[in-house]
Amino acid sequence: MFHPAAACGVLLNQAWVGSPEIMVTSHIGFDLRASPPPPPLGSPCFAGGGVVVASHPRGNLLPFPTNHGDGNHPAQLGASSSCNIWPWTAEDALNKRELLAANNNNNNKKRNSIVGNDCMVSNLSIGATRKKKPKVRKKLREPRFCFKTMSDVDVLDDGYKWRKYGQKVVKDTQHPRSYYRCTQGNCRVKKRIERLAEDPRMVITTYEGRHAHSPSHHEEESSQPSSSMLNLFWQ
């Protein structure tokens, strides 16, 4: 069973930064209100407690008070970075339009017409040349969750292998947004990485979709957390 909070456990240079303070934006039908699984007690990887906020197309923001961690163990994010998982607020929503749509019970017809089906089928014509043939693309909404960290590096090592497929300068920001796709198998998980306009030290990472496989790193590197720990986070 996928869990948004679990999926945001981020493996960073042998340290878990499981983020209990995560903004979850979802437009599909899995139950975001389920309790997040508690992180390993006493785990030094969890930086403080916080509030998980889930937005659901059928409801308002749903706060998850958590008591994970003691706040005394800021996770390390590699040699060049300090990492503090930031608590999300509504104003922090990466995409305000989506947040509004998610909170609007009456205005989901177009964008959220697939609510209730978290396994979506793409009509994307693979391999078709864009210029020759008009593409019929269905707008599909995968589960999304995003978090921000204070980091010098843009791309955080989360154990998966990503391929960059685009970069875009977003309006009113001086930093471009990068688009990545998981390269393993036919995994369609994507992530966006951008820097917060108000505070360029903050990296906003947005995952979209679910991995149908394990992270590639932990099979190779014995120094990573135990497999049971990984299973806890990546199921």
Q: Please select the residue that binds DNA; options are 72, 129, 222, 223, rule is CB under 7 A.
A: 129
Q: Which stretch binds DNA (CB under 7 A): 17-25, 77-85, 95-103, 220-228?
A: 95-103
Backbone φ and ψ of 64, nearest 5°: -115, 100
Count the site residues for DNA by CB under 7 A: 34
Beta carbon nearer to DNA, 74 or 209: 209
Eight-class DSSP state of 102:
H
Could you tell me which residues are beta bridge partners of residue 148? Answer: 204
Angle made by CA atoms 189, 194, 199, in degrees to the nearest 5? 145
Pairing mode, if any, of strands 15-17 and 23-25? unpaired
CA dist 178 → 54, 111, 201 (Å): 24, 23, 16
Identify the residue among 70, 128, 212, 231 touching DNA (CB under 7 A): 128
| Cβ closest to DNA, residue 73 vs residue 161 | 161
Least distance CB 96 / DNA (angstroms): 10
- How many Å apart are CA 13 and CA 224, to the nearest integer? 8
Which of 34, 90, 170, 212 touches DNA by CB under 7 A? 170
Nearest approach in angstroms of CB 113 to DNA is 9
Given 90, 116, 165, 221, the residue binding DNA (CB under 7 A): 165
- Which one of 80, 119, 131, 220 is in contact with DNA (CB under 7 A)? 131
Q: Is 85:17 a contact under the CB 8 Å cutoff? A: yes
Contacts of 113 (CB under 8 A, 6+ apart): none
Judged by beta carbon, residue 33 or residue 164, the one nearer DNA is 164
Shortest Cβ 225–DNA spacing (Å): 24
Which residues are at the interface with DNA (CB under 7 A)? 95, 97, 101, 110-111, 124, 127-131, 134-139, 161-168, 170-172, 177-179, 183, 190, 192
